[in-house]
Structure 1
């Protein structure tokens, strides 16, 4: 196990900057997720840590070793890829044992160790199968087993679950987290899926345009987004953002619609952020400017799309609260107490709430 540090790391291809001034410390034994949209620099950062991309400037250390210019094989890391990268001609046991065989470990010893790891991954009955005879989830567990057998200082995961269907992704995610907790090995995981990032990470790094937009625990990032980008990227459905003016406990949109809010005395032009779970519709008189445009039922909850004088808002409510509310219904809107997020309209940076 080891602490990982990026110190002033930059990566550029010619004049195109991909990662800029990356300063990051990943504590020993932590599970850190790099998340962001395509092209934000998260995969490049992981590949620089792995030694698969050269660093333009800056340093990367693992424990007390500067690994910036070391070959991947000399960094004491193990990487799990999106496409599993299993050897099709080898059995499950042989695939898991391969890293030990590559270091001249006797075959019997390597296969015995592989069998022990396979047992912990629920693969004990599949040791003689070839990759083509496995499901996607089973192949991914074999790839994880192959990484575990090396007992590296750091695990690296490059969107390893993206090829799985939704149900299997959730199951494998749980297994992966349990494995990491049991082994306590420092892990760095890259994904574009913010839900995956929220559920897996001890520490969540949101990236944008090659820089860190925000870092913290998943709850910190979710409850106090640093700017409007993070606010809308983290959370599903995404946060409602509205431009308007705060005055005397009301937030007034440009179309004149007034929304009562608890904004701790803030005044003036501002961008108001409200999570869909915190926007509360109730049936109202027919002259209300807010109307229900669409209701999507999700069992105990529903996603309600609202039209507020041409502005679209999203609310997530318990189905039991939909009494008297149907598509086309006029509604009043309220914001849950203490649930306002305020951002500077020009810079997008958080100012309060």
Structure 2
């Protein structure tokens, strides 16, 4: 186990800078998740830690040792890719044991340890099969087992679950988190899926254009987004963001949208409301109209329109009879659940 630190790390390709002045600490034994849209620099950051990309400036340390210019094999890391990269001619047992065999570990010892790890990953009954005889989730677990057997100081995960279907993704995510907690190995995980980031991380790092937009415990980032970018990116369905003015506890926009939000007066502000916190009430004098209803078992996502504004609300399925498509509704949110941002800068305003 080891701490990891990025200090002023920058990566440029010619005149294009993809990661700029990255300062990041990974606590010993923690699971840190880098999340952000495509092109934000998260995978490049992970690849620099792995030694697969050269650092333009700055330095990277693992366990206090400067590894910035070391080869990947000298960094004591193990990496799990989006592509499982299993050897098709080897069995599950042999695939997992391969890193030990490459180090000249005696075959009986390597296979014994591979069997132990396969059992811990729920693959004990599959050790004699070839990759073509496994499901996607099973193949990914073999790839994880191959990384574990090396007993590295740091685990790196590059979108390892993106090739799995929704059910397998959730199951494998749970197994991966349980395994990381048990092993206590410092881990850096890259994903574009903010739900994965929220559920897996001890610390979530939201990246944008090569910079860290916000970093912290997932609940803190969700409840107190630093700006409108983070507010819109973290959370599903995404936060409703509306520009307007607040007077007498009501947000009003130029198109006539009105939402009861409470709080202080503001002549120009961007209001953020999570769909779970946006309340809909049938009202003939309301400013919005129900446009779409998506049933999700006990809950439903209701889309409403008011002029150019399209907003979403998560409601109980029991409330749907009062919210048919075409119904006029009033909108409100508890003042304590309303987020306020500066309209020009997008930055969060003090409470």
TM-score bucket (shorter structure): over 0.9
**1:252 and 2:252 matched:** yes
Aligned equivalent of 1:271: 270
What are structure 1's unaligned runs of at least 5 residues? none
**1:332 and 2:330 matched:** yes
For 2:209 and 2:24, the matched residues in 1 are separated by 16
Deviation at 1:288, TM superposition (A): 2.7
For 1:230 and 1:21, the matched residues in 2 are separated by 19
For 2:229 and 2:335, the matched residues in 1 are separated by 23
For 2:32 and 2:226, the matched residues in 1 are separated by 19
For 2:261 and 2:153, the matched residues in 1 are separated by 49
Contact 1:295 1:302 in 2 (8 A): yes
What are structure 2's unaligned runs of at least 5 residues? none
Aligned equivalent of 1:113: 113
Look up the SS of the partner of 1:352 in the other structure.
Answer: coil
Deviation at 1:193, TM superposition (A): 0.3
Contact 1:243 1:254 in 2 (8 A): no
C-alpha RMSD of the superposition: 1.0
Aligned equivalent of 2:35: 35
For 1:41 and 1:192, the matched residues in 2 are separated by 11
Deviation at 1:266, TM superposition (A): 4.3
Contact 2:31 2:189 in 1 (8 A): yes
For 2:192 and 2:322, the matched residues in 1 are separated by 38
Aligned pair count reads 351
Contact 1:32 1:187 in 2 (8 A): yes
Aligned equivalent of 1:290: 288
Look up the SS of the partner of 2:294 in the other structure.
Answer: strand
For 1:258 and 1:330, the matched residues in 2 are separated by 13
The correspondence of residues 140-289 of structure 1 with structure 2, limited to 5 A, is: 140-263=140-263, 265-285=264-284, 287-289=285-287
Look up the SS of the partner of 2:205 in the other structure.
Answer: strand
Aligned equivalent of 2:51: 51
For 1:39 and 1:242, the matched residues in 2 are separated by 27
Deviation at 1:260, TM superposition (A): 1.5
Contact 2:86 2:143 in 1 (8 A): yes
Contact 1:31 1:186 in 2 (8 A): yes
Q: TM-score, with normalisation over the residues of structure 2?
A: 0.98
Deviation at 1:267, TM superposition (A): 2.1
- Over 4 Å off, 4+ runs: none
Deviation at 1:256, TM superposition (A): 2.8
